[in-house]
Amino acid sequence: MWVDPEGFYFRICYLIPGTFAVIQVQTILFSTSFKLWCPKIDEGTKPGVMAVNSRQNFEIKITAGTTSFEQFREIVATECNHQFTESGALIHNASACGSPHIDWKVWLTRKKVEEFMKSSNYMINDSQSFTHWMNRVVELGKDVTKASLELRMEDTAKQAKEAKAAAQIRHHVLTQEAAQQASSSKRKGPDGENLTETITPADFRPVDVYVDRIYSTHPPNVKYEKRLPVFLHPTNPNSYIPLTAAIVQQWANALVSFTFAA
């Protein structure tokens, strides 16, 4: 193998001792597919996302060893745009800001290299992983290396549903713990029977539980306020917030809203 002054990798074929012929630059052919997501903006419809998929696998060709990570992404985005209009912009924007996350999965289709088999789930999501993969392909020494490339963007709508479900579970656990705590402190009769009705999680609202926890965590401190609880600044003992009923209620509502929006 020989590298010319511009950095291109060439295959060298020895004809007879002392002579050789340059055959071609090493290239990589990717059988490529993508699955992206784009927010729906149609008026009168519920917020959601629509799928932006390649209709079929398509070929992308790059030069081995000389294509940079940035050039590679630019080439892929351009070719994807030929398959689905504006899909390249979705890739550009996601790559620029890091969200939604896109996995760039790659594997070799002919050469059996354990690290780069489809089941290995090797990702070239950053420059380091891309360079490592490219160097290994160059080391294989093939004129043409066939590989597969699969772009998969995270489904933000699915993530939002999972986050909402997780928040509902946390709120149930929160109210369940409150019910258990309340049940353990119920008044008993002479014979040990409960004098109050059975307490269940349905008897509590998450926002009310958060209010109680805020008050129990931040009791009154006469050094700052005689009657009101206070929230002390984590690093400045001279700075604090009086926890009025309105502020505590706002704080508790924010905690509930945050868990649903997380």
d(CA 92, CA 98): 10
Question: What is the predicted pLDDT for the residue at 40?
Answer: 79
Question: What is the predicted pLDDT for the residue at 97?
Answer: 87
Looking at the fold, whether 198 and 79 belong to one and the same domain comes out as no
Question: What is the predicted pLDDT for the residue at 261?
Answer: 47
Instruction: Using the 3D structure, point to which of 129, 154, 179 is the last residue of a domain.
Output: 154
Question: What is the predicted pLDDT for the residue at 160?
Answer: 65
Which contiguous run of DSSP H or E holds residue 166?
helix 156-184
Looking at the fold, whether 249 and 184 belong to one and the same domain comes out as yes
pLDDT means per 10 residues in the chain (262 residues)?
Answer: 47 51 76 92 70 94 93 95 93 90 93 88 96 93 93 80 70 76 63 62 80 84 81 84 87 75 46
Looking at the fold, whether 134 and 14 belong to one and the same domain comes out as yes
Domain boundaries, position 254: 158-261
pTM above 0.85, yes or no: no
DSSP alpha helix (H) spans, 47-155: 69-83, 87-97, 127-140
d(CA 132, CA 161): 36
Looking at the fold, whether 45 and 6 belong to one and the same domain comes out as yes
Looking at the fold, whether 249 and 162 belong to one and the same domain comes out as yes
Total count of domains within the chain? 2
**3-class DSSP assignment, residue 240:** strand
